Amino acid sequence: MASDRITLSEALSMAIGGMVGGGIFAVLGVVAAEAGTATWMAFVASGVVAICAGYSALRLNAQTEEQLNPIAYIEQFTGSTTLAGMTGWTFIAGYVGTMSLYAYSFGGYFAELIGADAVAGLPLQPLITLLVIVVFVGLNLGGAHASGRTENVLVGLKVLILLVFGFGGLYYGFQRGLIASGFADLQVSTLLAASIGFVAFEGWELLLFDQENIENPQRTISKAIYGSIVFATALYVVVAVVTTNLVSTAVIQRNAETALAVAAEPFLGQFGFALISIAALFSTGSALNATLFSASRLSRMLVADDLLPSQLRGRNEDEPIRPLLVLGVLTALLSGFGGLDGISSFASLSFITIFGGFSLLAFFERTSIVSALIPAIGFLGAIATIAGLLYNLVTTEPDVFVAVVGISVAVVATELLYFDRKPILAEARDLEHRL
């Protein structure tokens, strides 16, 4: 029935919920600590790369004979099942990174909101982080309808509170002459450092994995992707301007996990701190819910195509129970192992690589100057972002760099071993037979 299909407003809600949870509450403090009042320009630059990737993905989608997903694009346009499978694994790794980021931030805001560091002798933040993962895994095990209703409520509350913060903060700042353009802080190294926050623009691509459930998919997805990226970028700009002008860089560096809540105190007092902390809980919870929902269904699809181990295939064809449980465990492990910088860097690297791949593939399929120029900008922007992220980590946080590269190498190595397993097993059986 038509009423069961995802409408434009619901598609926008899912895409915005996926993006804003990471960009506003989870990584803004990390980016602002490096870029200062130029943070808003860093988000604009990342938004340009994201919208070029969105254009590229939609171009590829339009050129397929049927409604395919991004994994199928890779296979159709390159002819390589292995490359398509590795892209799927990279998606899963990136989603685990973003879910860890959202859960980690949720725990941080919750602990600050109630003003406690421990409960029953246990650190409160990791405990809440684990609990929120368990709750949303359980919610998704309950089915798509329960998850979708929750998503609409969370996104609506989040956006309303952020609008109050953004426009209230701008009014307060302009009235007191506190708002600066940020150009004084603009440096190439600053913008490169801000690439760690590219994960803020992950989320819109989730719609491409659920096209069969979307009403009038070609038209709806196109409007939802462009609309959500533009909206998220504008929201990031407003919130970044308010945060970096009302709070000093030194204060942001000390409170990177809760920078937005701290920025609300000058004009809203303690009530503002509590209000933004509550919004952060809605936002990170919304993003975790939306990402877990789509990532579990992506995993089920990869299992069906023999791109993930068959052991993940469960008896229930309606709900991907085993993928949900595995994703929950991996998310809990990463959020417990890594810090905010390391988790966000790993997630950003995953999605910059994927989005850059979209743009490169669309460039090869160009048919006009416009269809060549936009993907070219997206691809070159992705390369520059990857270089900036790695350079920043090497020069400022070498330990995080080693951790991010180590995890990335482990993921790629596992992918290669899995997709080359058949030749390897065949050679091993042949050797055993000869012996």
pLDDT in tens, 349-374: 899 999 999 999 999 999 999 999 99
Where is pLDDT greater, at 314 or 204?
Answer: 204
Where is pLDDT greater, at 145 or 7?
Answer: 7
In terms of Cα–Cα distance, which of 127, 137, 107, 145 is closest to 5? Answer: 145
Return the SS3 of 215.
Answer: coil
What is the band of 173 on the pLDDT scale with cuts at 50, 70, 90? very high
CA 240/CA 242 separation, integer angstroms: 5
For residue 431, pLDDT beyond 50: no
CA 77/CA 152 separation, integer angstroms: 35
CA 359/CA 202 separation, integer angstroms: 15
What are the phi and psi torsion angles at 308 (to 5°)?
A: -135, 155
Return the SS3 of 214.
Answer: strand
What burial letters (b/e) apply to 62-79, b meaning 16+ CB within 10 Å? eeeeeebbbbbbbbebee
CA atoms within 13 A on the CB side of 179: 18
**Any bridge partners for residue 118, and if so which?**
123
